[in-house]
Structure 1
Amino acid sequence: MAESSSREMYNVLLLGLCFMLVFTAFQTGSLIQKNVMSSIHEEDPSYASDGLISLSVIYAVFAVANWFAPSMVTFLSPRLSMILSAITYNVFIAQFLYPTNIGLYSASAVVGIGAAVIWTAQGTFLTQNSTMVTMSRNSGIFWAMMQLSLIWGNIFVYFEFDNEERIDKKTRNTVYGVMAIIGILGNILMIFFRKAAHIIEDDKKPPFVKGIVDSFKLLTTRRMMLLSSTFIYTGLELSFFSGVYSACIGFTKAFGKDSKKYVPISGIAIGVGEVASGFAFSILEKYTAKMGRAKIVGLGLVAHVGALIIALINLPFDSPFKDTTSAALIPSNIFLALFGSFLLGFGDGCFNTQVYSLIGVLHKENTAPAFGLFKFMQSVAAAAAFYYSSQLMLPYQLAILAVFLLVGTVTFIVVARNADSRGETFVGVSLS
């Protein structure tokens, strides 16, 4: 039993480390993508790639590929699926060393497929290495370690691009070269995953199409239909904190003429919030276990309501689009804005750790279709949000988020408490 426990903890820690490295590379590369593309275009006018189109391609392919990902994970095993999928992230980063229009969009499509597989495999692997007692703790540990990538990456960007009006080729190649090495290291470390002690390999693999059929069947269940609003909200808020909020800070000239220097600092604040929530639900396991999943998601609701209010009153309504000198409802305050960044990260951690945990215990015997559906709905919502965020003024974006935040929180609490009342998901209490 002790050996089993230590092996599973080893896998959880290694999983967090590998994803931290792979996503330090990917998230850092994505963060600076728009500025980098602008600099490349100045040097080579034929390079006319668009960052929003790239993101749309990633999430559109991601959404479609989620229907096939469960079957791929079943056939290849979670370990091999993650190894192969991580390669696609490294391809995406490496193409910036030799930028071409077709290279970016091709790599975006490839990483969309890889994203669907790696996240389905990650959820399955995490569940295999957890019990009903340890699922919430392990989700917190993984989430905190993975989100450290936001901190390291943004610190690197802040110092590397400090006071740079244009990112020259040498700087670009240095940054993306370092990111590629970090991503490859995370990829290589995945080789050292160990099989969970209580998992017995079955030589008889189910038909490939069964994974797709299982996903469709699961989608029609009452429980999954209720959770779908929560899944959708995680996609909407993912797009907001990763693509809109920090950009709004950078465009708000009331923060100073060099307001763009606060963009990576906002990213760091988001990362600190993510890590704080993840570690809180793992290190303080006994206390959070008493709270239960419903109350933790309720805490996420409070954090995100606070963040949305801060965004509404502290940022100009036209700040998602361009540099603006427009006044906000109150005098714009950078410290309040960065506190909003922290709340966005903290709330995101509350929602995602508990969604992973709930799916893991409700569908422990057949996790791949459940995690596939989660990522499908999340990615469709993110793709939609990336589109409307370029069209709608800030108050309208916040209104959409507020509606899904409230509905998603209520439906999650209904499912979690329903399951708890039936003895399916007791947190922190051994069911054996």
Structure 2
Amino acid sequence: MATDEETPLVVEEIPSQLNHKKDVHILCWAFLLIFLAYGAVQNLESTINTEGDLGTISLGILYVSFAIFSLVASLVVKKLGSKNALVLGTTGYFLFTAANLKPSWYTMVPASVYLGFAASIIWVAQGTYLTSAAHSHAYDYKLHEGTVIGKFNGEFWGMFASHQLVGNLITLAMLRDEEGGRTSGTTLLLIVFLCSMTVGIVLMCFLSKRNGKEDALQDSPVTFSSSVGSLLNSMSNLLLDIRILLVIPLIAYSGLQQAFVWAEYTKEIVKPTLGERGVGGAMAVYGVFDAISSLIAGRLTSGISSITIIVSGGALIQLIVLLWLLLGYSVSGGILGTLLPLLIGALWGIGDGVLNTQLCALLGLLFKHDLEGAFAQLKLWQSVSIAVVFFISTSISLQTMVVTMLVALCISLAAFLFLTLKVEKAFSYRSA
């Protein structure tokens, strides 16, 4: 018989009385307000904290911590409940942003480590909460489950992706370049961002608890050792599932392509042509197309078949960009030289929006009985990939990075197609 802590949080036997759409709207706005601030701060780290590469190293430490704590994030979310985990997770982003007011090794490193923990639980909680809301909404209103999951993920990731636009436009408006390469307005910008985060945190408190089982899990008298044993058993069982093994390469690639934007695109493609002030504008363009593609991809999602087609289309777009960078792209002047980096950002944003929405929808459909574990795997492999890019980006060339991305994309797409075209069909027949 399954123990209480192993009981999935999202299985409901009777219609709930929750307003699922309202909760999704609250979640979207809260994440937008928090991440328009954090995303802009992350983009600025390597520019405003240059002494001893403090900014870049802090981000590397952050994602190493993120990867480590992702191993236990699902246990924390199960014990706290997804709503409480979301609220706790916001504190890491607030602390990290505040640490930038007095950046030093004594403030940034501890804040980075703590943010790694907070990020691991907030993202597992986000995936669990959003998918739980989608399952419940589909059940209550007798709707197609895959369509609702796709629509909810499309709305969330579309709203989330717009943080790049809003945050970078605020940065562009408030920062001023001075003589000697210095920048003014940083302190006021950080204070504005902390205010935005505060509103987002307050909004998060208005989320509904998904169901009564979260309370039962929090109150159940289980020991720490039994909880850890259950976690290890759940993780080992999940990693023995060929479906998660085949989707892990695509998860890892999704982390690589995000870090490619932060570490290589801004430094090697945008800055040589548009300068440092152009980074905010280029990232805004990236965010706009990321948001649009997320909304469209979410609306088009209806099941495994649609996910396969949409992911393949997004992968093809990124493949074209990578081949262009490898074989034909060069820095040039004039109007064309200004437009090409923006075009690359737009195309890359489309691919990122596709991967974000479809990976979450795929995990929500395949692993509905262990959402916490599945989304923990998502953030574990993404954060490992991102950390690797941050640590090696200073020692390898753009061409080497592009070749690595091409190989990773081909391997991950092949594994994904094998999963969706062969393996999942076998699972469907078995469960029919």
Q: Which category of TM-score, normalised to the shorter sequence, fits these structures?
A: 0.7 to 0.9
Structure with greater proportional helix content: 2
Distance 1:8 1:369 in 2: 22
Kept in 2: contact 1:300–1:347 (CA 8 A): yes
Match of 2:27 among 12, 15, 20: 15
1:84 to 83, 88, 99: 88
Q: Following TM superposition, by how much is the alpha carbon of 1:373 offset from its aligned partner in structure 2, in angstroms? A: 1.2
* Residues 48-90 of structure 1 deviation map (CA, whole Å, 9 limit, x = unaligned): 4522211110011111101110100000001001101101100
Contact 2:263/2:389 (<8 A) preserved? no
* Corresponding residue number in structure 1 for 2:296: 280
Cα distance in 1 for residues equivalent to 2:339 and 2:183: 31
TM-score of the superposed pair, with normalisation by structure 1: 0.85
Following the alignment from structure 2 to structure 1, what is the Cα–Cα distance between the partners of residues 354 and 221?
35
Aligned to 2:407: 403
Note if 1:202 corresponds to 2:222: no
Which residue of structure 1 aligns with residue 365 of structure 2? 361
Aligned partners of 1:240 and 1:385 also within 8 Å = yes
Note if contact 1:88-1:114 (Cα within 8 Å) is conserved in structure 2.
yes
Give the aligned partner of residue 77 of structure 2.
73
Q: 1:84 to 1:290 in 2, by over 3 A?
A: closer
2:19 counterpart SS class: helix
| More moved, 64-73 vs 260-269 | 260-269
Q: Deviations over 1:253-296 (max 9, x none)?
A: xx3xx6222211110111012101111024x447x769600000
Contact 1:139 1:353 in 2 (8 A): yes
Q: C-alpha deviations, 1:207-265, integer Å up to 9, x for none?
A: 4211233123312321111111111101111110122102223442xx3xx62222111
- Residue 312 of structure 1 deviates from its aligned partner by 3.0
Residue 237 (1) aligns with residue 237 (2)? no
Alignment of structure 1 residues 33-48 onto 2, 5 Å? 33-38=45-50, 48=52
Superposed, which structure 2 residues align to 1:187-266 within 5 Å?
187-196=201-210, 201-203=215-217, 204=220, 207-209=226-228, 210-252=230-272, 255=273, 259-266=275-282
Instruction: Find 1:271's aligned residue among 277, 284, 287.
Output: 287
Q: Deviations over 1:365-392 (max 9, x none)?
A: 2111111111111111111112222111
Equivalent AA in structure 2 for residue 14 of structure 1: I
Q: Is the 8 A contact 2:48 2:55 kept in 1?
A: no
Aligned residue for 1:179? 193
Match of 2:355 in 1: 351
Could you tell me which residue of structure 2 aligns to residue 25 of structure 1? 37
Distance 1:384 1:214 in 2: 27
- Check conservation: 2:251, 2:382, Cα contact below 8 A: yes
Unaligned runs of 5+ in 2: 1-12, 136-144
Conserved 8 A contact 2:250-2:412: yes
From 358, 373, 379, give the equivalent of 1:375.
Answer: 379
What is the identity, as a one-letter code, of the residue corresponding to 2:227?
F
TM-score in terms of structure 2 length: 0.85
* Partner residue in 1 for 2:310: 296
In structure 1, distance between residues paired with 2:212 and 2:423: 24
Residue 128 of structure 2 corresponds to: 124
Aligned-pair Cα RMSD in Å: 2.9
What is the rounded CA distance, in whole Å, between the counterparts of 1:20 and 1:338 in structure 2? 23
TM superposition shift of 1:174: 0.5
Cα distance, 1:138–1:416 mapped onto 2, change above 3 Å: farther
SS in 2 for 1:411: helix
Aligned pair in 2 of structure 1 residues 351, 20: CA closer, same or farther (>3 Å)? same
Say how many residue pairs are matched.
402
User: Structure 1 unaligned runs (5+)?
Assistant: 42-47, 317-326, 426-430
1:97 partner amino acid: L
CA 1:261 to 1:99, structure 2 compared with 1: closer, same or farther past 3 Å?
closer
Offset, 1:313: 4.9
Contact map agreement 1:49 1:101 (CA 8 A) in 2: no
Contact 1:310 1:340 in 2 (8 A): no
Query: Which residue in 2 is equivalent to 1:319?
Result: none
Larger displacement relative to structure 2 (80-89 or 238-247): 238-247
**Counterpart in the other structure of 1:44:** none
CA distance in 2: counterparts of 1:56 and 1:233, whole angstroms: 17
Instruction: Answer yes or no: is the 8 Å Cα contact 2:81–2:215 preserved in 1.
Output: no
Corresponding residue number in structure 2 for 1:421? 425
